[in-house]
A and B are shown apart, each in its own frame.
Chain A
C-alpha cells in the first residue's frame, strides 16, 4: 500500500450567485461530475457538507470563495480525472462561471495515507504556495514533487 496520498485544494470565485440561472451550466454538472470522481480510479476522499453531496455551501476562505478539496492515491490518478474525463468539459467552460485570477488558485501536497487533511491545513498550503512558489510542501500539476521517502509528519 502507498504510504502517501495526494491532497488537493482548489478555490474559485463564482461570477454570479450560485442560484443565478447563469450558473446553471455549472450547478447541473455538479452531481454527475462528483459521481464520476467518486468512481474514478485512485479517488480517496472529497469534502462535502453535512447532509449534502458537495461542498458548495462551505465558505472557509471567504464568503465568495467556493472550495473543492479532495484526496487521491497519486498525481496520475488525479490528473486522469481532472483532464482525461468529462471533468475536462467543465474546466473548458470555467470562464463562463468563475472569475479569472492571476494568483495560484489550486494547490496539492502529500499526506500520510489514511489521514484526512483539514481545511486549515489546506489554507496554509495554498498560502505557502503563494508565498514561496512550488515546493515539495505545496505544488501544482505543472511542478510536481514525489511523495516523501519517509513519514516525517509524526503524530
Chain B
C-alpha cells in the first residue's frame, strides 16, 4: 500500500474528477481541455483545474503539442493534452501483495513447464465465474458483454460495431505480470476469457496480439 495510492483514491472521490478520469481513459489517447469540458458539460477553467489535480495525483500524464500544426512565432502556445498515466497504483486495505505472489507462481509454472496446467486452471476459473453469475448479468449480445468485461477491468471497445466488429480490450488486468511472463500470462488470460464465454451462448475469444492492446479479441460466434 502506498501513500500515492491512497492520495489517488482520494482524488477520485470528487465526482467530476472521476467522470473526467473515466472520459480520458475511455478515449484511449490524448485529450484536450476543450474536449474534456465538452464531454462533461462543465466550464473549461473548472475542468482544467480538475484535470491538473488528476495529474498531481499521478493518475494522468500531460503532453504539450501544437494542435494547429503550425510552427514558429505566432503559431500559438502548445496545447496541454491529457492521457492515462502509465504507472500503476494499488490500493488495498489492509495491505496485500498479490503481485509478488503472482510473479512467484508464474516463475514456478515456467520452471516446471506446466503451461498447460495453468491454461486448464484458467479455463476452469472462467467457467466457474460464468456459472455463478446471476441470470440478469449473463450477456445476450456483444453490448452486454462489453458491460460485463468492464466490470472485470478490461476496458473493452467495439471495433466497427455497425458491422458487428469484434471487441478489443484496451486494458490488460494482468499488465505487470504480462510484461515479465508474456507467454504464460497472455495464454492464461485467453483461457480465462474462453472459460467465461463457454458459460454463455454465441461468443468466441481468439488471440490477436498487437502492441498497446490486450492480446485477445472477442466476436459473435459464426454458428449463431
A residues apposed to B, CB below 8 Å: 80, 82-86, 88-89, 91-92, 94-95, 100, 102, 142
| A68 CB, nearest partner CB in chain B, Å | 15
A91 to B215, CA, bound (A): 13
| B207 at interface by CB-CB < 8 Å | yes
**A95-B113, A95-B115 known; A88-B182 Cβ under 8 A:** yes
Q: Known contacts A94-B183, A142-B180; decide if A88 and B111 are in contact (CB<8 Å).
A: no
A82 to B211, CA, bound (A): 11
Taken together as a complex, chains A and B put the C-alpha atoms of A102 and B207 apart, in Å, by: 27
Which residue of chain A lies nearest to B183 when distances are taken between CB atoms in the complex?
A: A91
Q: Is the interface of A mostly helix, strand, loop or mixed?
A: helix
List the A residue with the shortest CB-CB distance to B186: A88
- A77 to nearest B CB, angstroms? 10
Q: How far is the CA of A84 from the CA of B115 in the complex (A)?
A: 19
User: Which one of B113, B115, B180, B207 lies within 8 Å of A88 (CB-CB)?
Assistant: B207
Complex alpha-carbon distance, A111 and B166, angstroms: 41
Given A88-B215, A92-B207, A102-B111, decide whether A83 and B116 contact each other with a Cβ distance below 8 A.
Answer: no
A125 to chain B, nearest CB (A): 21
Q: A15 to chain B: closest CB distance in Å?
A: 12
In the complex, are the beta carbons of A84 and B209 less than 8 A apart?
A: yes
Which 6 pairs, one residue from A and one from B, show the smallest C-beta to C-beta distance? A100-B113, A83-B182, A92-B187, A91-B183, A88-B209, A84-B211
Do the beta carbons of A83 and B113 come within 8 Å of each other?
A: no
Tell me, in angstroms, the Cα distance from A102 to B112 when the chains sit together.
Answer: 8
- Residues from chain B with a CB closer than 8 A to the CB of A91 are 182-183
Query: Closest chain B residue to A98 by CB distance?
Result: B113
Q: In the assembled complex, how far is the CB of residue B197 from the closest CB belonging to chain A, in whole angstroms?
A: 18
Measured between alpha carbons, how far is A95 from B119 in the docked complex, in Å?
12
Q: Contact: B111 with A84, CB < 8 Å?
A: no
Select from chain B the residue with minimum beta-carbon distance to A102: B111
B residues whose Cβ falls under 8 Å from a Cβ of A: 111-113, 115-116, 180, 182-183, 186-187, 190, 207, 209-211, 215
Cβ of A92 and Cβ of B210 under 8 Å apart?
A: no
Can you list 28 residue pairs at the A/B interface with Cβ under 8 Å?
A80-B211, A82-B182, A83-B182, A83-B186, A83-B209, A84-B209, A84-B210, A84-B211, A84-B215, A85-B210, A86-B207, A86-B209, A88-B182, A88-B183, A88-B186, A88-B207, A88-B209, A91-B183, A92-B115, A92-B186, A92-B187, A92-B190, A94-B115, A95-B113, A95-B115, A100-B113, A102-B111, A142-B180
Main secondary structure, interface of B, reads helix
Q: Knowing that A83-B183, A94-B115 are A-B contacts, what are 18 other residue pairs whose CB atoms are under 8 Å apart, sorted by A's residue number?
A: A80-B211, A82-B182, A83-B186, A84-B211, A85-B209, A86-B207, A88-B186, A88-B207, A88-B209, A89-B207, A92-B115, A92-B186, A92-B187, A94-B183, A95-B113, A100-B112, A100-B113, A142-B180
Residues of B within 8 A of A142 (CB): 180
Q: Which residues of B contact A83 (CB under 8 A)?
A: 182-183, 186, 209
* Chain A neighbourhood of B183, CB < 8 A: 83, 88, 91-92, 94
Measured CB to CB, the closest approach of chain A to B108, in angstroms, equals 11
CA gap between A89 and B119 in the complex, in Å:
13
B-chain residues with CB within 8 Å of residue A86 when the two chains form the complex: 207, 209
Once bound together, how far apart are the Cα atoms of A100 and B183, in whole Å? Answer: 14
List A contacts of B180 (CB < 8 A). 142
Most buried by A among B112, B180, B209: B209
Contacts of B113 in A (CB 8 A): 95, 100
- Which of B116, B186, B207 meets A95, CB within 8 Å? B116
